[in-house]
Amino acid sequence: MLFSPNNLFLRRLPGRLKYVFLRFGLHNLLGWIFFPMFWLSRMTQLGAWVARHRQVPFNDFPSAVFNYQKRYELYKFVLEREKLDGPISYLEFGVAAGDSFRWWAAQNQHPDSRFHGFDTFTGLPEDWGLFKKGDMSTGKQIPEMNDARCQFYAGLFQQTLPSFLRSTPLTHRRVIHLDADLFTATLYVLTSLHPYLQSGDILLFDEFNVPTHEFSAFTDYCRSFYVQTEVLAAVNNYYQVAFRVL
């Protein structure tokens, strides 16, 4: 049969195509098509993922109007459903001005909770869509918090997270807020935290439905580490999504 796995021609075809591609430098001819095809591939995966996760306990899909304030409704739902008023270890990656960080610190008043915020505070370390490197900077201004439970770490995650994990015990239930935007930063955080994540921990994403960044980082991480999660809530057509680690 033509498409039989035992067909010698089909088994050799990928190798032959790779030889032709590399021998004649076809990347020079086809390089322009890489990003559109990559975006389309990831968007197809995102569409299939959304189709599998339509039945979510808290979900506004489909929603014709984007409302960034809905993320606080998502936080409130997750906090109440998961009973996150007890001691938690809250880690936020991509703090910026600290709006969501302040929300969680205000809503969880347990004295044993700890809140850790990570950001360069000098803007994006690389381009992100229409945003350029350095955009979204706070001018190195770190949010002011009148709360001894809160601490911030300025710099690239690759610089600050390793020493943090070596020196800081995450003894309580972990709530991880991923607002890093970038594929690279999000994947780095997830893979670095993997040894510390336990069943019941919460993952929050702030730009989940960007197909080539947070969505790609999350799906690549789950496939690589065989991580199982449950979707708890989604708003703004899966732009913000909350998961529980199983």
Structural domain for 233, as ranges: 57-245
Which domain-ending residue is among 52, 67, 83? 52
Q: What is the pLDDT of residue 48?
A: 97
Q: What is the pLDDT of residue 11?
A: 77
Rounded-to-integer distance, Cα 146 and Cα 2, Å: 70
Q: What is the pLDDT of residue 19?
A: 87
pTM confidence score: 0.92
- Residues of the chain where predicted confidence (pLDDT) is lower than 50: none
Rounded-to-integer distance, Cα 224 and Cα 163, Å: 24
> Are residues 166 and 226 both part of a single domain?
yes
Q: Are 197 and 245 in contact (CB under 8 A)?
A: yes
Q: What is the pLDDT of residue 9?
A: 72
Q: Tens digits of per-residue pLDDT, 124-137?
A: 999 988 889 999 99
CATH number at residue 156: 3.40.50.150
> Are residues 126 and 35 both part of a single domain?
no
> Are residues 157 and 106 both part of a single domain?
yes
Q: What total number of domains does the chain contain?
A: 2
